[in-house]
Amino acid sequence: MARVSSNWWKWNHTKTVLLLWLISATVFYTLFKMALRNADHSSSSDSSVSYAEQRSKLYDNMARDLDEHGALFLKGGETSQSLSISDIFTIKDGSVAPVLKAANPPVRANVLYLGTEYSQPISEAVRQIFNPYFDKAIWFQNSSLYHFSMFHASHHIVPVPATENEKEVEANAVSMVAKELCPLRIVLDRVVLTSTGVLLGCWQVISGPDPVTIRSKLRTALPHAPEKQLYDAAILHTSFARLLGRPKASTMELRKSDEIQFFHELVARLNNQLHGFKAVVSELWYVEEYDVLALALNGRMKAHRFQHGCKKT
């Protein structure tokens, strides 16, 4: 009887030890998984912060460009894509007109599209502030084509010819990228005027995939694209207008400040009106531009439009 009791006690003790071991292992595994998730979240959060900081520094440099280099657009100058202003604009009867030149081969651009519910209020504010002073010496971006340039499968600096079948493969690859993307919630950080006369909206991401991530996905999807792209990987910007001449400001206004300061004052007015403007971006376009800078100049193009497939916001 004593032996039975002893065996029973040993068996119970063994079960207790095993149970405690299993509980400890389960708790450890659960805590370990939570730590990994927190680390991943922290890493993702840190990346988002660093990308935002990277954009802020980039925008700071862009904001200083006019002071550091002067108003080059008053002397001709070049665009950010190494084209002279005279290559893309002309003055006819006192009005600005685009110079449309065939792109051979067509440029193949991937852009995020900003819907008109957001672009039109911005366009109206830009026109209201700048039109009285520049009238016919300014080109306004078509508000139905506001976009954020992401990645080029081919551009005019490094052309990558493609057959119709190859372009179809590229478009399908871009559509697969779009399916993985959630909508971007973005906020207008600031408006800047560059030395080449471009009035740019510079944005930050509130939620959704970062531009760095989107460009990385597009590079993977488009392996034959030029290694050298046109823009910084972190930037999220869209063109609002391009200044092409001197302001029509009254003599009284120009006595108060030089031209550069006058430009800064106009930009400050626009920033006061638009800073903090929020938007949602949920379309990725694969665009064949048959004219150079067709998206910017209302040229000939073919746009393949893809909705972001992820429904999270």
Residue 249: the pLDDT is 59
| Cβ(230)–Cβ(150) below 8 Å | no
With CA atoms as reference, report the closest residue to 141 among 231, 201, 203, 74.
Answer: 201
Sequential DSSP letters for 243-298: E-S-----HHHHHHS-HHHHHHHHHHHHHHHHTT-EEEE-EEEEEEEEETTHHHHT
- How many beta carbons lie within 10 A of that of residue 147, not counting itself? 22
31 has pLDDT over 70: no
CB burial of residue 214 (10 Å; 0-12, 13-18, 19+)? buried
What is the count of structural domains for the chain?
A: 1
CATH code (residue 268): 3.90.1140.10
Structure-model confidence comparison of residues 28 and 219, the more confident one: 219
pLDDT grade for 92, boundaries at 50, 70 and 90 = confident
Structure-model confidence comparison of residues 73 and 125, the more confident one: 125
State residue 188 phi and psi, 5-degree precision: -75, 110
Average pLDDT over residues 296-301: 96
DSSP 192: E
> What is the token pair recorded at 115?
């819907």
Whether residue 40 is contained in a domain is answered as: no
171 has pLDDT over 90: yes
Torsion of CA 236, 239, 244, 247, to 10 degrees: -90
312 has pLDDT over 80: no
User: What pLDDT digit, counting tens, does each position of 178-232 carry?
Assistant: 999 999 999 999 999 999 999 999 999 999 999 999 999 999 999 999 999 999 9
Ranking 53-62, 80-89, 183-192, 292-301 by mean pLDDT, the lowest is 80-89
Average pLDDT over residues 112-126: 98
pTM: 0.81
Whether residue 11 is contained in a domain is answered as: no
Residue 24: the pLDDT is 54
Quote the domain boundaries for residue 267. Answer: 50-307
Q: Would you report the helix, strand and coil content of the chain in percent, each value rounded to 5?
A: 50, 25, 25
296 has pLDDT over 70: yes
With CA atoms as reference, report the closest residue to 175 among 221, 144, 113, 213.
Answer: 221
Whether residue 143 is contained in a domain is answered as: yes
Residue 96: the pLDDT is 85
Whether residue 103 is contained in a domain is answered as: yes
Q: Name the helix (H) or strand (E) containing 118.
A: helix 116-134
Mean pLDDT of the chain: 85
Residue 29: the pLDDT is 47
User: What pLDDT digit, counting tens, does each position of 248-279 carry?
Assistant: 756 445 554 588 999 999 999 999 999 999 99
User: What pLDDT digit, counting tens, does each position of 134-144 carry?
Assistant: 878 899 999 99
Structure-model confidence comparison of residues 248 and 125, the more confident one: 125
The CA-atom distances, in angstroms, between 201 and each of 14, 96, 119, 307 are 70, 22, 11, 23
State residue 51 phi and psi, 5-degree precision: -65, -40
Whether residue 312 is contained in a domain is answered as: no
pLDDT grade for 81, boundaries at 50, 70 and 90 = low
Residue 40: the pLDDT is 42
Pairing of strands 278-281, 237-243: unpaired
Whether residue 140 is contained in a domain is answered as: yes
- The residues, ordered by sequence, that sit 6+ positions from 129 with a Cβ below 8 Å of its Cβ are 266, 269, 270, 273
